[in-house]
């Protein structure tokens, strides 16, 4: 174990069924935490994740505020409380702004931002009653730069970053800490969206992005998970309250080079 205090700490991870969220579940469970993961539906693929990691499930789409509330309440009932909420669920589509479909634009806001607002509104009273807690937000470097064809996604992730700063100040007296991770290019299934937008293969996207990263490769989901684990630790939650960490392997541009 890296952090002894994580043993039996009660953790809910939205978007925990694949990619970064799945890696977070593995990492937190390995450190002794009790973990519930959230996804839209419980299917065979998700069940395999549950069986392999030992996590439990609280399913439902957080796009609907009532469902999001139920997801958090159910997770707290399953674990007997809630110490850490990781807001990681995400949806992404890419298109030029004037060609984007309004429904797709708003669905990204509902999943990435307002859905997590509903989760947080439900989690805060539970954490306050328990004497505190930690909220970890997974934003994106798309939310800090003008990335091509990603206005809906970038806007939602920018809002998530700002939300974390405000919440940290608002609930500091309740021992509730709020930290934000800003991943760079991570090797997850979401890269298929980039590949489709660019009209190239997934391997070509990986190579193109890796060539522009100081580390020379894409970041791994496990590296984001390790960052989240530190943020949930006693030292990390205090040191990074109201702050963010960019995990990008040295990749940080003001605008994509291919525009």
Buried b (16+ CB within 10 A) or exposed e, 54-86: ebbbbbbbbbebeebbbbbebbbebbebbbbbb
Q: Maximum Cα–Cα distance for the chain, whole Å?
A: 51
Helices (H), the chain: 19-30, 44-53, 65-79, 102-109, 115-129, 151-170, 191-198, 202-210, 221-232, 234-239
Annotation marks residue 139 as catalytic:
yes
The model's pTM: 0.90
For 190, list phi and psi in degrees, rounded to 5: -65, -20
Q: How many CB atoms lie within 10 A of CB 242?
A: 15
List the catalytic residue out of 107, 110, 140, 157: 157
Q: pLDDT digits over 125-141, tens only? A: 999 999 999 999 999 98
The residue from 110, 153, 158, 209 that is catalytic is 153
Tens of pLDDT, residue by residue over 200-226, are 888 888 888 888 777 788 888 999 999
Q: Which tens digit of pLDDT belongs to each residue from 47-58?
A: 999 999 999 999
Share of the chain above pLDDT 90, in %: 71
DSSP secondary structure of 57-119: E----TTSHHHHHHHHHHHHHHHTS-SEEEE---------GGGS-HHHHHHHHIIIIIHHHHH
Please, which residues bridge with residue 86 across strands?
Answer: 13, 136
Helix (H, G, I), strand (E, B) or coil at 138: strand
Answer yes or no: 2 catalytic: no
Residue 166 annotated as catalytic? no
Structural contact between residues 24 and 95, judged by C-beta atoms closer than 8 angstroms: no
- Model confidence pLDDT, tens digit, residues 43-96: 999 999 999 999 999 999 999 999 999 999 999 999 999 999 999 999 988 888
Residue among 55, 164, 141, 157 nearest 109 (CA): 157
Q: Is the pLDDT of residue 253 over 60?
A: no
185 C-beta neighbours (distance < 10 Å), count: 24
Task: Determine which one of 139, 156, 158, 233 is catalytic.
Answer: 139
Q: What are phi and psi of 163, to 5 degrees?
A: -55, -45
């Amino acid at each position: 174990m890296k952090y002894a205090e994580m043993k039996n700490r009660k953790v809910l991870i939205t978007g925990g069924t694949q990619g970064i969220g799945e890696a977070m579940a593995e990492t937190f469970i390995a450190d002794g935490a009790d973990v519930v993961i959230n996804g839209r539906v419980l299917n065979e693929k998700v069940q395999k994740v549950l069986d392999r990691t030992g996590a439990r499930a609280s399913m439902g789409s957080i796009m609907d505020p009532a469902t999001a509330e139920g997801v958090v309440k159910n997770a707290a009932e399953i674990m007997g409380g809630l110490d850490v909420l990781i807001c990681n669920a995400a949806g992404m589509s890419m298109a030029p702004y004037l060609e984007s479909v309004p429904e797709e634009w708003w669905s990204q806001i509902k999943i990435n931002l307002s859905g997590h607002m509903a989760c947080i509104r439900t989690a805060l009273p539970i954490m306050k009653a328990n004497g505190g807690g930690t909220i970890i937000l997974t934003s994106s470097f798309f939310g800090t730069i003008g990335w091509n064809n990603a206005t809906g996604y970038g806007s939602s992730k920018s809002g998530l970053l700002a939300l974390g700063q405000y919440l940290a100040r608002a609930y500091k007296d309740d021992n509730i800490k709020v930290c934000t991770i800003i991943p760079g290019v991570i090797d997850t299934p979401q890269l298929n969206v980039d590949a489709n937008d660019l009209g190239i293969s997934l391997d070509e996207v990986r190579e193109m992005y890796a060539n522009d990263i100081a580390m020379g490769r894409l970041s791994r989901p496990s590296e984001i998970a390790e960052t989240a684990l530190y943020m949930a630790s006693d030292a990390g939650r205090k040191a990074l309250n109201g702050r963010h960490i960019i995990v990008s392997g040295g990749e940080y541009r003001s605008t994509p080079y291919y525009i």
